[in-house]
Each structure stands twice: as C-alpha cells, then as structure tokens.
Amino acid sequence: MKFINFKNEKLFLDECEIESPKENQIQIEVHSTGVNRADILQKKGHYPPPKGESEIIGLECAGIVCKIGPNSSKFKVGDKVCAILGGGGYAEFVNVDERQVMPIPSNVSLLEAGALPETILTVYENIFNISEFKNNEVVLIHGGSSGIGTTAISILKNFTDQLYVTAGSKDKCDNCIQLGAKAAINYKEEDFEQYFIDQKIKVDIILDMVGGSYFKKNLKILNQKGRLTYIAALESIKAEANLLYIMTKQLKVSGSTLRSRSPEDKGKIVNQVIEHIWPLIEQGKYKPTIFQSFNMEDVNLAHELMESSSHIGKILLDIKGG
C-alpha cells in the first residue's frame, strides 16, 4: 500500500505491505484523513506514537471497512466508518480497534468524515466530560478558528448562547461569529482578559491550546468554580500564576490528550459521541468546517498550510484523490 513517510521533516510517498487486522481490529480502506498539529510535531520528532501504535502519521480517518479481524463484530465489510487512531491515518489502509470506530452519519461524505473524529472527541471529552458543561454556561474557546475551535463553536452553539472565542484576525473572528460564537476577540488587537473585565463577564469554562502567558489571564476571568482545561500549549508549556485564584475561586485546572489512551478509554468517548453528537449531525445542526483538502502527493503543502495558521477549520488529505 501507499503511505506517507517522512525524513528530515519532509514528507514523501512510500510503499509497504498491508498487515492483517489483529484481534478486535478492523481494517479500513482510507478515503480521507484529517491533518492535525500533532502530525507536525511527529514529523519533527517531538511526538512519537505510543508503544504498539503505527509509526505512520495520522490520528484519524474515514473510509470503508474492508477486512474484519478475529473477535470483531461491531462492523461488517462495506460499512462506511470514521475512526480515532493512535497512528496510521496517512495511508491507504489502516487497522484499528473496533471500539475506536464510528459509523459515518448518513448526511456526511467520506471526504468530510475525515474531519470528524479527532476534534469532536477532543471537544466532547474536555468540555462535556472533564469540565462537566451545563447548558447555558459561559464558555471561552481559545484558537476559535482552528479545527478544534470551529468544532467547539458548531457543537456548543446548540447548548449555550454564551460562547466566546479568541482568534488572530478580523476575518477569523468574523467566521467564528458566523459559525455561532456570541463574540470573537482578536488577540492581536485586544487583550482578552481586559475584554472580559470591561464587559463584567465571568467565564465558566475555558478550553485552551495556547498555554504560557494565557494561564494567569484565564484564571483571573474564570467564575467561581470555573474550569480550565488544556489540550495543547502552543505558546509555552511553562506558566506563572497566582495560585490564590485557584484556591479562593475553587477553580479546576485540568488537561488531556487522546492519543495515548487505551482503546477502552477511547471507546467510552466514542460511544458518548455517537449517542449525543451524531444526532446533531443527522439533524443538520452540526457540519464540519473544512478549509481545504489535498491529495497525498501534496501533503507537504497541507503541512505548510497548517504551520502558517492561515486556515479556518480543518485541513484534510484526500487519500483517494477525489
């Protein structure tokens, strides 16, 4: 099969044998896969796959089931599915534990479905599970125009009208508002901390992928018993803060990643997403924001776009090339 390999931070097409699915696995003929910042980190040697996972880049995919491994019973050959992966998405075929696999909603194409797993599971786990979101709470999403950000807006607008985001340009802010955010703060022109102080808004939940200097600002604008959860630290993994804010306001600070979690853990979130988010998709209340798709041969262009941060929403690889 063809897959995308890398050397010296450059990606290139390569070929390898197709392995048979193991116990509890299914094999997917991949049609599309999402491009994520974790892929950039892996290419640069900063984010190796967990032990036992594929060395091939790619944390999600959509495609058609083509083989069933021993003791696998949830899906059959020919089913259209999408999956959260520990690795292997940048390839024509991938084997994955069936607990990490979801049926594709009927109104979503195989190409579009490649944009679903990673961002939706990340948003659901961090907002609904870890932060225990309640309807109509005030939520702030940093990186509102990213794949995670646009996903969070598109989901949460169904549950609250108090949804705020930060983004890095007027165009990105406008797009976030069109998607359903109540307000978008251009962090290059305005201090988001000062915005919430001036507006006298106390935030219940903050989803942050920036880290660094944002940490102490986040703590200051959180409401009593507010929740701050981290999914990345693009500015810095180090931060300073006044711990009194955490103690006196009874704040909850947490963080999570999906990649290293067990199939059982991922499967629990998968089941929750199928139960609570898939109906929104079927009803037309959620649609993935896709900025651009690239053929496998143009994967370096896809990564250049991701690293430029000029996109809004998800970047995809069209493994089948249309």
Q: Which residue, chain included where needed, has tokens 């690293």?
A: 307
Q: Estimate the crossing angle of helix 170-179 against helix 147-156, to 10 degrees.
A: 30
Q: Which residue, chain included where needed, has tokens 């901390």?
A: 193
**Token digits of residue 151:** 């996903």
Q: Which residues pair with 255 in a beta bridge?
A: 230
Neighbours of 312 (CB within 10 A): 23
Sorted by where each begins, the domain ranges of the chain are 2-116+259-318, 119-255
Q: Is the pLDDT of residue 11 over 70?
A: yes
In this structure, which CATH number among 3.30.750.24, 3.40.50.800, 3.90.180.10, 3.60.15.10 belongs to the domain 2-116+259-318? 3.90.180.10
Q: Is the pLDDT of residue 322 over 80?
A: no
State the Cα–Cα distance between residues 103 and 79, nearest whole angstrom: 7
Protein fold of 119-255: Rossmann fold (3.40.50)
Alpha-carbon dihedral sign for residues 321, 288, 93, 103: negative
167-200 per-position pLDDT tens digit: 999 999 999 999 999 999 999 999 999 999 999 9
- Say whether 119-255 and 2-116+259-318 share the same fold: no
State the Cα–Cα distance between residues 314 and 322, nearest whole angstrom: 17
Nearest alpha-carbon partner for 194 in 171, 166, 173, 170: 166
By CB atoms closer than 10 A (0-12, 13-18, 19+), residue 240 is exposed
Are 95 and 58 within 8 A, CB to CB? no
pLDDT of residue 151: 99
In the chain, what percentage of residues exceed pLDDT 70?
Answer: 100
Residue 14: which pLDDT band, with cuts at 50, 70 and 90? very high
207-243 per-position pLDDT tens digit: 999 999 999 999 999 999 999 999 999 999 999 999 9
- The b-or-e profile of 142-176 (16+ CB within 10 A means b, else e) is bbbbbbbbbbbbbbbbebbebbbbbbbbeebbebb
Residue 248: which pLDDT band, with cuts at 50, 70 and 90? very high
pLDDT of residue 321: 81
On average, the pLDDT of the chain sits at 97
State the Cα–Cα distance between residues 61 and 73, nearest whole angstrom: 20
Please tell me what DSSP assigns to residue 182.
Answer: S
255-276 per-position pLDDT tens digit: 999 999 999 999 999 999 999 9
Q: Is the pLDDT of residue 163 over 80?
A: yes
State the Cα–Cα distance between residues 264 and 165, nearest whole angstrom: 32
- The b-or-e profile of 22-54 (16+ CB within 10 A means b, else e) is eebbbbbbbbbbbbbbbbbebbeeeeebeeebb
By CB atoms closer than 10 A (0-12, 13-18, 19+), residue 1 is middle
**Token digits of residue 141:** 């999403």
Overall average pLDDT of the 2-16 stretch: 97
State the Cα–Cα distance between residues 229 and 80, nearest whole angstrom: 33
Nearest alpha-carbon partner for 147 in 262, 46, 288: 288
State the Cα–Cα distance between residues 149 and 172, nearest whole angstrom: 11
- This prediction has a pTM of 0.97
Overall average pLDDT of the 310-321 stretch: 96
